[in-house]
Amino acid sequence: MQRLKMGMIGGGRGAFIGAIHRAAALMDNQIELVCGCFSSKAEVSLASGRDLGLSDDRIYTTYEEMIRRECALDPAQRMDFVSIVTPNQLHFAPAMMALEQGFDVVLDKPMTFSLEEAYQLKAKVEQTGRILALTHTYSGYPMVKEARFRVARGDFGRIRKIYVEYPQGWLSTRVELQAGSNAGWRTDPKRSGKAGAMGDIGTHALQLAEYVASQRCTSLCADLQAVVEGRLLDDDGAALLRFDGGASGVLIATQVAAGEENALNIRVYGEKGGLQWSQMDPNALYLRWPDRPMEVLHTGNGYMSAVAQINTRTPGGHPEGYIEAFANLYRNFARTVQAKRRGEKVPDEVDFPTVEDGVRGMQFIETMVRAGYDNDHKWVDWVK
């Protein structure tokens, strides 16, 4: 099988998430890195590309140059898709151009800087027929897929309650004032967009909740704030939620829970029982029942669903983690791209977040910001 050829925008030396994307993409030997524009600083891009074993003629300084010059290459050489891992305000333009020039796209979340951009990007995807994957990493975990599968199968009956929380602590102080901090752009309205924590981690929480529960939020009541003095965007928030399937719930997202690392956690309860999944214990799924003992599923075992199994690389007891979850997004994206080229369809299990999830995420930001600072009105309808 021919490996897919990836170009990368962003992710130069020192950028945490770029390295994760590459490890995830390369791990299964179905994708190779062929070119990149790793930084807007020419020397950083060059050095980063050389670190990665690229020849200088495939290392670019601007995304426009990269897309243009890759287009001009022989198809056997040319990149197949582009992975965009830049700050939020630099998602839209390269994604639009890549789609227009016939490249599939992997894009970090939140999808765009504004909701308006999200709608334009969605229209572009539909118009071009290209494939866009949005890296909501957590939905790549096999246990999250197992959870979704079991809810959809009805194991818990009708879902009544959805609690999702995402506490982090790394913004407990103004780390954004330190040079080189990843917090810089995330707390800057000019680069992050309307929201801080809600865009960075709230969108993950919302996507996880909707993905697992197969219900969509329809209205919410929120409280947003910048807890740390001097910060311009929210670093903390919570919301009461209502869903179209009849469930209600709570979403918590905060980056000032000092001491917390990345404690994303979801609990979903139906008439007959409930489930819990925690990102820091990702290979387990806890099922609670009123009338029989709690069950703890572990990935890699024969009792797991097909969708979990095809998103697992190791047998039971051999932990997988964040990079493998990420790799599942890339692998499923790659399988989909390859299948499309062969005129085939992939099975439903080969899934990944799409431009639709991206639009939902941007709507979530818009709704949360509208609700979270409004001290008069309680319930705010989902913004469309």
Q: In angstroms, give the least distance from the CB of 69 to a copy of itself.
A: 22
Please tell me the distance from the alpha carbon of residue 182 to that of residue 86, in angstroms, as a whole number: 11
**Quick one: 114 or 309, whose CB is closer to a copy of itself?**
309
The secondary structure element, H or E, covering residue 238 is strand 236-243
Residue 348 binds to a copy of itself (criterion: CB under 8 A) = no
Torsion angle of C-alpha atoms 107, 112, 113, 114, degrees rounded to 10: -170
Restricting to residues 289-308, name those near a copy of itself by CB under 8 A. 289-298, 300-303
CB neighbourhood size of 303 (10 A):
11
51 binds a copy of itself (CB under 8 A): yes
- Binding positions for a copy of itself, 75-134, rule CB under 8 A: none
Q: Which is nearer to a copy of itself, 78 or 114 (CB)?
A: 78
Q: How far apart are CA 36 and CA 78, in angstroms?
A: 12
Rounded Cα distance, 149 and 213, in Å: 9
For position 373 contacting a copy of itself by CB under 8 A, the verdict is no
| 281 sits near a copy of itself (criterion: CB under 8 A) | yes
Query: Taking the complex as a whole, how short is the minimal distance between the CB of residue 87 and a copy of itself, in angstroms?
Result: 17
Q: Are 359 and 349 in contact (CB under 8 A)?
A: no
Q: How far apart are CA 279 and CA 8, in angstroms?
A: 27
Candidate list 188, 320, 351, 357; residue touching a copy of itself; CB under 8 A: 320
Rule CB under 8 A: is residue 152 a binding residue for a copy of itself?
A: no
Stretch that binds a copy of itself, among 107-115, 319-327, 345-353, 354-362 (CB under 8 A): 319-327
x/- letters, 158..197, toward a copy of itself (CB under 8 A): --xx-x-x-xxxx-xx------------------------
**Binders of a copy of itself in range 9-38 (CB under 8 A):** 16, 19-20, 22-23, 26-30, 33
Contact predicate 363/206, CB 8 Å: no
CB atoms within 10 A of CB 184: 16
Q: Does 282 bind a copy of itself (CB under 8 A)?
A: yes
Nearest to 108 by CA among 172, 186, 48: 186
Q: How buried is 355 (Cβ within 10 angstroms: 0-12 exposed, 13-18 middle, 19+ buried)?
A: buried
Q: 201 to 260, contacts with a copy of itself by CB under 8 A?
A: 221, 223, 225, 227, 236, 238, 240, 248-250, 252, 254, 256-260
